[in-house]
Amino acid sequence: MDSKKPVNNTESVSAAPNNDATTDSTIDTKKSPNPPSAAKISMPKRLISLLIFFVVISVGGLITQQGVLLCILTLFMVLAIIGKQKAGLIMLRVYTSLQLLIVSALPLIVHNPENFDPSAPQSFAIGSFNSSLPDWLIFAILILLAIVQVWIAFTRKVGHYFNREMNLNIMR
C-alpha cells in the first residue's frame, strides 16, 4: 500500500502542475489588464456635444413641425452614430458638409436687390425675447456653427470611434 501512494502522488503531482500551468497561462493571456484599444474606444466628448445639439434641434423642429423629414433623418443619423456604424460616420460627414455648403450659399440665395435695405437689421422673437441683429451677424453665426460641426465630423478622434471593419449594413 505504501508503494502505491507515493507512485500515485508523484504521477498526479507531476501531471497536475503542468495542467495548471497551461490553464493559468491561457487565463492570464485572456484576462490581460490592457485590452486592445480598438475594442475599448469611448465616444469623444465633442461628438457627444454635437449629438446633443442635433437631438435638441431635431426635437425642436418636430415640436414646431418645421422640416419634419429632415428632423427624422437627423435623429436616425444620431442612432447610427451611437451604434458606431460606418454608415453613421459617412452620413455625419456628408450631412455636415452639405449643411456648411447650404449655409454658406444662404446669403446669396436670400439676397433680393429689390427688397435690400442694408441699414435695417432683421428682428426676431424667441418667446418673449425680441431682438434685432444685422444680417451679416446672423449669417456669420450660422456659418461659424456649420464650420465647427464639419471640424468635429472630420477630426481623428471621431473617426477612430467608429468600427471600420464593419460594412455599410446597419443591421448587424
pLDDT band of 93, cuts 50, 70, 90: very high
C-alpha to C-alpha distance for 79 and 65, rounded to whole angstroms: 21
pLDDT score for 97: 96
Q: Mean of the pLDDT values across residues 51-71? A: 94
pLDDT score for 8: 53
pLDDT band of 124, cuts 50, 70, 90: low
pLDDT score for 128: 76
For residue 9, pLDDT over 60 is answered with no
For residue 56, pLDDT over 50 is answered with yes
For residue 21, pLDDT over 80 is answered with no
Average pLDDT, the chain: 77
Pick 122 or 132 by higher pLDDT.
132
Pick 141 or 120 by higher pLDDT.
141
For residue 83, pLDDT over 80 is answered with yes
Check: CB of residue 78 under 8 Å from CB of residue 54. yes
pLDDT score for 168: 62
Pick 65 or 124 by higher pLDDT.
65
pLDDT score for 32: 47
Nine-digit cell string for 54: 442635433
pLDDT score for 167: 62
For residue 31, pLDDT over 60 is answered with no
The reported pTM is 0.65
